[in-house]
Structure 1
Amino acid sequence: MIASTIATALWAMGPAYVPNNAAVLAGGGDPIDGGREWRGRRLLGDGKTWRGSAAGTLAGVALALVLNAVVGPASGALGVSLPTFPISVALALAAGAMAGDVGASFLKRRVGRERGASFPGLDQLDFVVGALAAVFVVAPGWAGDVFTPLVVVAVVVVTPVLHLGTNIVAYAAGLKSEPW
């Protein structure tokens, strides 16, 4: 039961897990906020770019298409019925993850945290909130079937561990300037 719940959680969140990493790899480009400020602070900062957001969203959708292609064998190997991703769901998960991250940057700037500053909890779950909100709006039936309460709990427990691990790897590889 626990293993199948975790497998479903990781599979269903895959298209939301990939965008932020892909955005870092795409790097650079014009900032979404265009350099604008509000109350003396940048709206988002240079780290949130149009190129990164587009690349992240496309990477999430691409992963969903790959997962759709291998869902049968993966379900059989894991002994669990894994979901497929309609394109609307893939787009909602990926774009929602990016929107959640942008929203967190906005909040971090409002409380005076600079780009790259750690904000425990928010840093690990901002994209989860964005992805889940978007998918529940776009495809509530699909979301309700896949993201059961147990799966959501698994996502909330497993995601911070995965997030920290992938960020440490990206930091060690020189792709990020901080390990969180």
Structure 2
Amino acid sequence: MGPLELLIVAFWVMLPAYVPNNAAVLAGGGAPIDGGRTWKDRRILGDGKTWRGTLVGTLVGIGIAYLLNVLRPTAVEALGVSVPTFPLVAMITLPLGAMLGDMIASFVKRRLGRNRGAPLPGVDQLDFAVSALVLTAIVAFEWLVAVFTLPLLIVVFVLTPILHVVTNVLAYLFGFKHEPW
């Protein structure tokens, strides 16, 4: 695969993991997952991790994967790039893993004494991608290994922080987020 093809495939296979956290921000609010509980005098996750946001984010990611499967023949023809289809388990684990990764990062940030919205460089940009891939590897290992070659993984881990920063700045500028990170 050439560089452009790697970029297209990386974006394609990660889109179900890229979109959920953005959808959760738009649909957020409601009851926090931790119910306001604390652990060692700090919130477990914080008000930013809600049941509604997690459910909507996961469902939107599943919908994106389904839509990509439907659009695949047209995309292959239009792009001239062979993009993979998503098996049902990957359709679920990529977005769910992304949401879980964001919660794990929130938990870690609370343990480090960081407030909601405080940046944690590196973690903020990759938590969701790593968790999405790990959860998918647990239940769809053969598919993950067949799709995520080493060059593709490298592109994913370079592309993801760039996209994360750009989308967060845009969300901030449009008033969807209170901070640009």
TM-score normalised by the shorter chain: which range applies?
over 0.9
Q: Percent identity?
A: 56
* 1:1-180 correspondence to structure 2 within 5 Å: 1-180=2-181
Q: What's the CA shift for 1:74? A: 0.8
Runs of 4+ aligned residues of structure 1 deviating over 4 Å after TM superposition are none
- Distance in 2 between the 1:103 and 1:16 partners? 15
Q: What's the CA shift for 1:76? A: 2.0
| Superimposed CA distance per residue, residues 111-156 of structure 1 (whole angstroms, 9 cap, x where no aligned partner) | 0100000111000000001100011111001100111111111010
| Superimposed CA distance per residue, residues 73-125 of structure 1 (whole angstroms, 9 cap, x where no aligned partner) | 21122222101111211100000000000000000000010000011100000
- Distance in 1 between the 2:53 and 2:173 partners? 20
- Distance in 2 between the 1:19 and 1:141 partners? 24
Paired residues, what number?
A: 180
Q: TM-score, normalised by structure 1?
A: 0.98
- Distance in 1 between the 2:137 and 2:10 partners? 15
Q: TM-score, normalised by structure 2?
A: 0.98
- Distance in 2 between the 1:71 and 1:80 partners? 10
- Distance in 2 between the 1:62 and 1:68 partners? 10
Counterpart of 1:159, as a letter, is: T
Structure 2 counterpart SS, 1:163: helix
Structure 1 counterpart SS, 2:63: helix
- Distance in 1 between the 2:157 and 2:41 partners? 34
- Distance in 1 between the 2:160 and 2:34 partners? 28
